[in-house]
């Protein structure tokens, strides 16, 4: 079972609700943006429940074709067995009372599939159902169109909403340290240290992919930092102000730093900022920086900045 990381009021509330739900047979709806951890919460509900020793069946409605999902559900209704459509399992898995079904990306299912899901819930009440709904607008299930009888079922479920990272930035440091530890163990290196400037960058960044995107960036940073004591963030997350602050702090603390790398990053970010200001017009950019156009093009080429013709 994957741990739910965070100490924000939102995460504390979710953990409290999981403990409550784990003690009963109520079905559950979990909503939230992409990457907030809906599947992790669903797993915690199952593995802390009174039915934790029963099968947990996950059906991803966005990655499986319609006919495969529909046939799988028909088989469950008729035979109370789950036959994995992607792996040969003979007669399949027998599904006793308390088996848990997780329907991922329910909002992506068409009305025919939704009807099959409704039939399963209606005829097989001895199972527990957890519905995961991705809503990028961070709203409620009332704003998503569902097969009407299934919509009625959803409204009767226990509801858990997971807010995006932008609404619980206090959880980011805990998540970062967890992912650093996890990635370091996987690749067999000592945990690199993340300094306060780098952590501040991660906390201020707009994580549109939420925890999933943050995890990917931290894993990449650990790989980039292999053999070093300090973690290096991917360049696209950094700006010249952050890098300059990091350099000054390193000097004050007596920590050696790669000055050429830092100065190049600062120069590149400044060039990009001025080019953006003048809509990539090179002549205006060169005049603003008080350098020749030839020097500007040389530096753009040096840093891999496209040297397209002036607009």
Q: What is the pLDDT of residue 227?
A: 66
Strands 158-161 and 81-82: unpaired
Average of per-residue pLDDT across 32-54? 95
For residue 311, is pLDDT > 50?
no
Q: Which helix (H) or strand (E) holds 36?
A: none
Average of per-residue pLDDT across 66-77? 93
What ranges do the domains of the chain cover?
A: 9-163, 165-237, 255-311
Per-residue pLDDT tens digits for 262-300: 788 788 888 888 998 999 999 999 999 999 999 999 989
CATH class of domain segment(s) 165-237: mainly alpha
Reduced to 3 states (helix: H, G, I; strand: E, B; else coil), residue 311 is coil
Mean pLDDT of the chain: 87
For residue 142, is pLDDT > 70?
no
CATH numeric code, 255-311: 1.10.10
Per-residue pLDDT tens digits for 117-131: 999 999 999 999 999
Q: What is the pLDDT of residue 310?
A: 43
What band does 70 get if pLDDT is binned at 50, 70 and 90? very high
- Count, residues in the chain: 311
Per-residue pLDDT tens digits for 79-136: 999 988 766 556 688 999 999 999 999 999 999 999 999 999 999 999 999 999 998 7
CATH numeric code, 9-163: 3.40.50.300
Please report, for residues 3, 15, 214, 216, the alpha-carbon distance to residue 178 in angstroms, rounded to integers and kept in the order given: 10, 18, 11, 13
Our CA angle for 131, 132, 133, nearest 5°, is 115
Least confident residue range of 131-135, 142-146, 174-178, 198-202: 142-146
Q: What is the pLDDT of residue 260?
A: 73
């Amino acid at each position: 079972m994957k741990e739910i990381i965070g100490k924000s009021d939102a995460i504390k509330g979710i953990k409290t609700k999981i403990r409550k739900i784990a003690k009963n047979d109520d079905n559950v709806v979990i909503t939230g943006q992409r990457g907030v951890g809906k599947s992790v919460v669903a797993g915690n509900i199952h593995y802390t429940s009174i039915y934790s020793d029963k099968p947990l069946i996950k059906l991803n409605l966005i990655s499986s074709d319609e006919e495969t999902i529909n046939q799988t559900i028909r088989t469950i209704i008729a035979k109370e067995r789950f036959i994995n459509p992607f792996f040969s399992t003979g007669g399949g898995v027998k599904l006793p009372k308390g088996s848990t079904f997780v329907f991922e990306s329910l909002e992506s299912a068409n009305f025919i599939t939704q009807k099959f899901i409704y039939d399963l819930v209606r005829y097989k009440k001895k199972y527990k159902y957890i519905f995961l709904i991705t809503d990028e607008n961070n709203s409620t299930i009332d704003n998503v169109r569902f097969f009407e009888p299934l919509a009625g079922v959803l409204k009767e479920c226990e509801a858990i909403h997971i807010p995006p990272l932008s609404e619980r930035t206090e959880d980011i440091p805990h998540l970062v340290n967890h992912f650093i530890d996890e990635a370091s163990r996987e690749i067999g290196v000592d945990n690199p240290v993340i300094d306060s400037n780098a952590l501040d960058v991660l906390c201020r960044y707009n994580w549109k992919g939420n925890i999933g995107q943050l995890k990917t960036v931290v894993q990449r940073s650990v790989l980039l930092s292999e053999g070093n004591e300090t973690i290096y963030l991917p360049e696209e997350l950094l700006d010249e102000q952050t890098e300059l602050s990091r350099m000054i702090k390193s000097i004050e603390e007596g920590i050696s730093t790669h000055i050429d790398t830092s100065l190049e990053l600062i120069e590149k970010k400044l060039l990009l900022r001025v080019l953006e200001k003048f809509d990539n017009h090179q002549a205006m950019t060169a005049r603003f920086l008080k350098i020749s156009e030839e020097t500007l093009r040389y530096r753009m080429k040096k840093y891999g900045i496209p040297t397209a013709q002036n607009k």
